[in-house]
Amino acid sequence: MDKINILLVDDNEVIRIFFKDIFWLHGLEGQFHLEVAPGVDEAWAILRDSTKNINVVFLDLVMPFKKDGKEMTTSEAGMSILRTIKADPNLKHIKVIVFSGYTDKKDIEEAKKNGADMYLAKEEHLPQDLIKIFDSLAKQDSSVYQYSK
């Protein structure tokens, strides 16, 4: 069986370590390959690399990015990645799970409207919750992707 390729896009180093530790502590390296991008530009480099063959993206919404030559930190960074993935014929098969610390109803609705497969609030999901999602990914259980928050 091929490994499921997961991309975590998050500018928070603690979250990146958290994900890596979950994979290591629970022996998930046999089923999954985890790529990590600390920002928008790194995420695009990985997504556009056809050798990476990303299947699932865990996406933070609020990250620094450049717009009109200015550095900004808003949910537009994550939303732009989400919209582009879902609009690109070569990427739209990728499941996008928003994994954000922001639980504002407006952000959740916008993520849903833009095609997010799931919305998880960081502070509400413990490692065992993520393990259940990873198990569902391994089983290719589409019921995990019911839109939730």
pLDDT tens column, 57-106: 999 998 877 777 777 777 888 999 999 999 999 999 999 999 998 888 89
- What domain range includes position 8? 4-139
Domain for residue 91, yes or no? yes
Q: How many structural domains comprise the chain? A: 1
Q: What percent of the chain has pLDDT over 70?
A: 93
State the average pLDDT over residues 50-58: 94
Which stretch of 7-11, 84-88, 145-149 has the lowest confidence by average pLDDT?
Answer: 145-149
- Looking up residue 89, the CATH number of its domain turns out to be 3.40.50.2300
State the average pLDDT over residues 43-58: 94
Domain for residue 147, yes or no? no
Label residues 110-130 b or e (16+ Cβ within 10 Å = b).
bbeebebbbbbeeeeeeeeeb
Domain for residue 110, yes or no? yes
Quote the pLDDT of residue 1: 52
Rounded Cα distance, 32 and 22, in Å: 12
Q: For 105-115, write each residue's pLDDT tens digit.
A: 898 999 999 99
Name the pTM for this structure. Answer: 0.87
Largest Cα–Cα distance in the chain? 44
Domain for residue 34, yes or no? yes
Structural contact between residues 61 and 67, judged by C-beta atoms closer than 8 angstroms: no
| Residue 135 one-letter amino acid | D
| Region at 60 (left for phi over 0; alpha for psi -120 to 50; beta for the rest) | beta
Quote the pLDDT of residue 146: 46
Which pLDDT band, with edges at 50, 70 and 90, does 27 fall under?
confident
Domain for residue 146, yes or no? no
Rounded Cα distance, 5 and 52, in Å: 7
State the average pLDDT over residues 136-145: 64
